[in-house]
């Protein structure tokens, strides 16, 4: 096992690595990955709102600013960044995902989100979408710290525990309730990683689960 930071038991690490390796090993899982989001009108709308949130969170960034999209998956967030005039660098543990999302971007890198191969503040911003809720807490902290190190502004996507979708899961059953968090829990986690939260942006509060926390390193922090 590559990651077993203090506080993460082997079983949790094994489950996480199984999830991660599916994307890394199975090319067919990655090719056309975003077709899922481009399918039914509801999903298309939901995915469009994801990138709307990111655009809102990064409003004011200079055109052509370099933004790291990690992990990029099939590239839907990067395509949104380009619509806002930004230049994405796509990054993922899966080489197939990097290949999938590369067209039209400023470059792509295969990497581990917990150990980014970039110098401090290499990017004006970074975006981390649909990732943290699948990762054990200590690893999440490592990933958030790294994003804060390599970029000025960080946009982190969380799934809200207080949403219609999650409540439906709670009442009628469903999976992975514990991976949803409240806004104060998300803020506490980002601050525990040494970043200062500037605001949260919601897709549609209480209706959809997704929201983003916008954060940056405090002035003078090394
Ligand atoms: C559910 S997809 C989300 C992709 C994209 N951000 C989106 O919102 O569509 C999760 C991605 O995380 C990647 N991943 C998992 N573990 C990773 C790690 N340690 N470092 C970098 N990428 C990782 C997977 O390969 C996969 O592409």
Burial of residue 89 (CB within 10 Å: 0-12, 13-18, 19+) is buried
pLDDT in tens, 102-140: 999 999 999 999 999 999 999 999 999 999 999 988 899
φ, ψ at 26 (rounded to 5°): -105, 95
Confidence of residue 1 (pLDDT cuts 50, 70, 90): very low
Cα 128 to ligand 1 centroid, rounded to whole Å:
9
φ, ψ at 34 (rounded to 5°): -75, -5
Please indicate whether residue 129, judged by its CB atom, sits closer than 6 Å to ligand 1. Answer: yes
**pLDDT for residue 175 is more than 60:** no
End-to-end alpha carbon distance in the chain: 30
**pLDDT for residue 166 is more than 80:** no
Alpha carbon distance 24, 32 (integer Å): 15
Alpha carbon distance 206, 177 (integer Å): 15
Count how many Cα atoms sit within 13 Å of the Cα of residue 122 in the half-sphere of its side chain.
12
Confidence of residue 10 (pLDDT cuts 50, 70, 90): confident
Domain annotation for the chain: domains and CATH numbers? 10-216 (3.40.50.150)
Cα 34 to ligand 1 centroid, rounded to whole Å:
12
Please indicate whether residue 140, judged by its CB atom, sits closer than 6 Å to ligand 1. Answer: no
Cα 19 to ligand 1 centroid, rounded to whole Å:
9
Which has the closest alpha carbon to 183: 152, 219, 218, 159? 159
Mean pLDDT of the chain: 91
pLDDT in tens, 21-75: 999 999 998 998 888 887 788 888 989 999 999 999 999 999 999 999 999 999 9
Alpha carbon distance 182, 159 (integer Å): 8
pLDDT value of residue 176 = 52
- For residue 131, which atom of ligand 1 is closest to its CA? 10
DSSP state of 201: E
Please indicate whether residue 76, judged by its CB atom, sits closer than 6 Å to ligand 1. Answer: yes
Please enumerate in sequence order all residues whose Cβ is within 8 A of that of 157, keeping only pairs 6 or more positions apart, or say none: 50, 53, 127, 128, 129, 130, 131, 132, 210, 211, 212
Joined tokens for residue 50:
């994801």
**pLDDT for residue 12 is more than 80:** yes
**pLDDT for residue 4 is more than 60:** no
Confidence of residue 211 (pLDDT cuts 50, 70, 90): very high
């Amino acid at each position: 096992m590559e990651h077993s930071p203090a506080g993460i038991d082997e079983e949790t690490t094994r489950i996480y690595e199984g999830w991660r390796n599916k994307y890394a090993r199975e090319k067919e899982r990655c090719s056309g990955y975003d077709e899922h989001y481009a399918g039914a009108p509801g999903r298309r709308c939901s995915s469009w709102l994801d990138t709307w949130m990111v655009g809102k969170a990064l409003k004011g960034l200079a055109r052509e600013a370099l933004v790291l999209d990690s992990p990029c998956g099939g590239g839907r967030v990067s395509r949104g960044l380009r619509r806002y005039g930004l230049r994405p660098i796509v990054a993922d543990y899966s080489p197939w995902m990097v290949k999938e999302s590369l067209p039209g971007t400023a470059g792509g890198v295969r990497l581990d989100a917990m150990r980014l191969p970039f110098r401090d503040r290499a990017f004006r911003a970074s975006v981390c979408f649909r990732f943290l809720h699948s990762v054990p807490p200590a690893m999440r902290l490592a990933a958030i710290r790294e994003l804060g190190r390599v970029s000025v502004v960080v946009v982190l996507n969380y799934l809200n525990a207080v949403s219609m979708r999650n409540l439906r899961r709670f009442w009628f059953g469903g999976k992975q309730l514990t991976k949803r968090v409240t806004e104060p829990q998300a803020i506490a986690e980002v601050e525990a990683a040494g970043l200062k939260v500037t605001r949260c942006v919601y897709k549609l509060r209480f209706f959809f689960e997704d929201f983003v926390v916008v954060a940056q390193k405090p002035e003078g922090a090394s």
